[in-house]
Amino acid sequence: MKPGDPVPVDPVSMFEPDQDHEPMSWYLIPRPVFRGGNEIELLRGGDALFPAMISAIRNARHEVWLATYIFHDDAAAMAVAVALERAARRGVRVRVVIDGFGAHDDLAVVEPRLRAAGIAVTVFRPLKRWSHWLQPGQLRRLHMKLCVVDGEVGFVGGINVIDDHIDLNHGHTELPRLDFAVRAVGPVVRPMEQAVRAMWSRSWFGRDWQQEMRLLMHTERPVQRLRGLLRQMRLTRRGHRVARLDEAQPPVQAAFVVRDNLRQRRTIERAYIDAIRSARQRIWLICPYFYPGQEFRRALCKAAQRGVQVRLLMQGKPDYRIAAMAARVLYEELMRHGIEIYEYLPAFLHAKVMLVDDHWATVGSSNIDPISLLLNLEANMVVRDVTFAQDLAVEIARALAQSEAITAQRVRSQGWAGLLQRVLIEWAAYVYLRVAGVTGRY
């Protein structure tokens, strides 16, 4: 340990018993576990997220946890850093975990600065030496964007700690990229805190998630814990089976979901697919990196065929050409089944959100591609609430109004070149997943 680094926390002591819910039931059940009584606010871009985060950090009394893929050294990001530093200097326990690949070029500046203020900083799977690239699992990155303050207020979404006008590959842009996050208060913050603590301790202690979870589930009341978990599983399954998206729910129902490599491998993907299958009127989906598996594509196509309005908003200004190519090779198949496709033109698109009918919505870090759905550690908020859905609908409609509708003529013009691109994309995805250790069909 370096001078000024705090003493590591025993992971077993991180979670106290919850009077209303079994503390880890949300994690052990591989589907969204909804809890009512929350306040969920939609935040568009860093201009809305960072001031809200900074305000919460300034009011922190005990602890702040932050996990991010990118932590840049621009003015907007440094405003967040200053708030974290001031909190640490007044005695608040501050823990930050940053991905070693996403923030690779910024760690030399950001990490020493935060540590100098007494913040415990850990780098998830660092890439400081060439040998690090050869270690197993390096393709599986920490892609979550999470911040929790005092266990009372949490932030989750797709926004990294970087100015919306700065792209790491393209420099400064005139207009900010399109992205979203949410601010949460209420029972749903508890699993958010558990997830960000787990990410930090996994990186700090160097243990695998599975080993960590065994520690976290240690209890002196195994029988009571088991009974409570079984009861929660029955309630969740019953609600999943009979609940319809148009039923009134106690305000505001929200579920925090993650993707990892143990219990929650397909939870985010399953949440998307289940909502799509239940849709009656509309499915509006925004995603910059879109190359879903067969089951996901079939669910979208069947929804469109039964009369649901399915609108997909993709990148019109690609930040990675290969990602845009991967999405575009699917256009013909999707449009043939009645799906509307748009490309966002004003700026880069980074949002990962979906709206179903008038009640169901999700905002998070997970793209709809093999990297997010099968490799990275991701986090999404799923919300069942009319008001929140209306707020998101307004934002999506605004983005669609600034986008270009893809026509069948444009798709048909791809011809043999489009077919060749699709073959190459499928081959590249197959090889990438096998190198990463993922088996089975996608």
Active site residues: 143, 145, 150, 350, 352, 357
Distance CA 270, CA 263 (A): 13
Cα separations in angstroms, 35 against 31, 150, 254, 263, 296? 13, 19, 6, 20, 26
Alpha-carbon gap, residue 160 to 143, rounded angstroms: 9
Angle between helices 107-116 and 75-89 (to 10 degrees): 20
Please give the distance of CA 148 from its chain centroid, rounded to a whole number: 15
- Chain centroid, CA 305 distance in Å: 29
Query: SS3 breakdown of the chain: % helix, strand, coil, rounded to 5?
Result: 40, 20, 35
**Those residues with Cβ within 8 angstroms of residue 87's Cβ, 6 or more apart along the chain or in another chain:** 57, 58, 60, 64, 94
Which residues is 43 bridged to in the sheet?
181
- Separation between Cα atoms, residue 322 and residue 422, nearest integer Å: 11
For residue 71, give the DSSP letter: B
- Rg of the chain on CA atoms, in Å: 21
Q: 154: left (phi > 0), else alpha (psi -120 to 50), else beta?
A: beta
Residue 286 tokens read as 């925004």
